[in-house]
Structure 1
Amino acid sequence: YFLHSGHLTIAGCKMSKSLKNFITIQDALKKHTARQLRLAFLLHSWKDTLDYSDNTMEMAVQYEKFLNEFFLNVKCRIRSLGSGTTLKTFSKWNDAELELNKKFCAAKDAVHAALCDNVDTRTALDVIRDLVGYSNVYTKETNPPNTLLLRDIAVYITKMFIVFGAIGNSNDGIGFPIESDSANVN
């Protein structure tokens, strides 16, 4: 289940059967996945008006792609280590790892604060976007990047999206599970 209690508008007009400008969930799911719809709601305050439009949904689709690319890159790094190396192997952190870890800790605190402040999912998702951006910059500028730290960030983000309802509870990995279209609409 997913709850949004603000008003929905379409092209700036309040969605209403009498105005004949309404869209059913089933119609919306024909164009977008359930995750994309959930992300669209999460990217807006629950108490504010949400304008259901192509622009709104494009923001959600782009956010999903941005996160998915990060998750795939982290999974690729983990696989590239091979079976001979474990993620539990200690490696000393340099300044770049210390800085990214500091941003990671600050992001966790900021997400918690946003959710405690009237369930502000919009701010929480902005903080997560920034954390992924910092992680991507770190990955590009550091050779080799610390895969354990990147994995911890990806696991945290995955857990947050399980809490938000954008990833099912059965997910035991990193990122969005690979699903068929029919499974994604539920």
Structure 2
Amino acid sequence: MERALSFEKTTGEFFLLVKDLLRRYYKPDSSQGYQKYQARELKLMDEFFKLKEEIHNALCDSIDTRTVMEKITKLVAIGNAYINEKVGISKFIFLKNEKLQSWPIFKSIPMISDATSGIGSSNLETTVMPYLTALAEFRERVREIAKDQKVIKILEECDRLRDEVLPELGVRLEDRTMQTCVKLVDRETLMREAEQKKAAEAQRIAEKEQKARERAEKEAAKNALKNVSPQEMFKTGDEAKKYSNWDGQGIPTHMADGQEVSKGMRKKLEKLWETRRKDFDKAQSNGAAS
């Protein structure tokens, strides 16, 4: 189930991004809307059509869902790679290709169906997007000024607009490298994502605090050992459970089961004993000096 939800989100987000780019760069009333494909675009379309055929074959093969998902995921990856190459250049006409937008498989996925519908039609998106785009561009300029002037409060308000205010209205802003991407998304979806993000952040903080406590406990235990003499180090705590007999210096001679400590083990224990002796003497000297 988790994999299916992840797939739906990834593919849906891709088409929402495509719609945002088409709004910005696709100019059907000018020559920019009818640009000639270059070698890169031709290669990309070949890859798309090949994947389309593979998806069709997988669907005909007793509806091989796993393969279909893998091929669509690959298609999205190829598209995203191209978009990252071409941001800021009005060469996205190929993304409006009807063969790509109208595959029946996409229509069966709610988030993708929503994302691919309404391009160029007179609907809510067409009405509100000019205003949202203007708001996003204004926010982007404000953020740049705030960064230059190091005005943290303004940056925080810009983040609040993105993370709290607009999601309540069903709008997602994504701060990308070159510009802010604007997406219309179901409000319930955004609210659910916000809750998941808060939960993940709370878990991250809890894990960080737990690790800090563990480090503190480990350090405290280490400091406590500094006050344990070498003669007692193998007779204290968990170490004492490992052995049953010790010599005059406190070095174990027999294991807990009564078996005599081997020569190799004896050398290791003596080395640990000597290290502890040096640390103990140093700690005692520092304590006396203070």
TM (norm. structure 2) is: 0.36
What displacement does 1:69 show? 2.1
Taking a change above 3 Å as real, the CA distance of residues 105 and 142 of structure 1, as seen in their structure-2 partners, is same
Residues 59 and 65 in structure 2, CA contact (< 8 A), matched pair in contact too:
yes
- The structure-2 alpha-carbon separation of the partners of 1:81 and 1:145, relative to structure 1 and needing over 3 Å to count, comes to closer
- Check the 8 A contact 2:14/2:76 in 1, yes or no: yes
Q: How many residues align?
A: 123
Q: What SS does the aligned partner of 1:119 have?
A: coil
Matched letter for residue 161 of structure 1 = F
Distance 1:64 1:74, change over 3 A: same
Structure 2 CA distance for aligned equivalents of residues 90 and 168 of structure 1: 26
Please, which runs of 5 or more residues in structure 1 have no aligned partner? 1-55, 182-186
Structure 2 alignment gaps of length 5 or more:
120-182, 189-290
The equivalent position to 2:101 in structure 1, one of 148, 151, 155, is 155
Q: AA paired with 1:93?
A: Y
Kept in 2: contact 1:114–1:121 (CA 8 A) = yes
Q: What's the CA shift string for 1:150-178, capped at 9, x where partnerless?
A: 12275145x4222x35469898436x984
Residue aligning to 1:65: 9
1:5-154 equivalences under 5 Å are 56-57=1-2, 59-81=3-25, 85=29, 89-142=33-86, 144=89, 146-152=91-97
Q: Per chain length, whose mean CA-contact separation is higher, i.e. which structure has more relative contact order (CA < 8 Å, sep 6+)?
A: 1
In 1, the alpha carbon distance for the partners of 2:187 and 2:69 equals 25
Residue 79 to residue 141, structure 1, CA distance change in 2 (3 Å): same
More displaced, 93-102 or 72-81? Answer: 72-81
Q: How has the CA–CA distance of structure 1 residues 180 and 139 changed in structure 2, closer, same or farther, with 3 Å as cutoff?
A: closer
Letter of the 1:73 counterpart: L
Distance 2:51 2:24 in 1: 27
Identity score, percent: 29
Distance 2:17 2:112 in 1: 21
Q: Is the 8 A contact 1:74 1:154 kept in 2?
A: no
Structure 1 position 147, deviation (Å):
1.8
Q: Higher helix share goes to which structure?
A: 2
Kept in 2: contact 1:167–1:177 (CA 8 A):
no
How far did 1:145 drift? 5.6
What is the rounded CA distance, in whole Å, between the counterparts of 2:44 and 2:70 in structure 1?
Answer: 17
Of structures 1 and 2, the larger Rg is shown by 2
What amino acid maps onto 1:138 in structure 2? Y
Rounded to whole Å, the distance in 2 between the matches of 1:70 and 1:168 is: 9
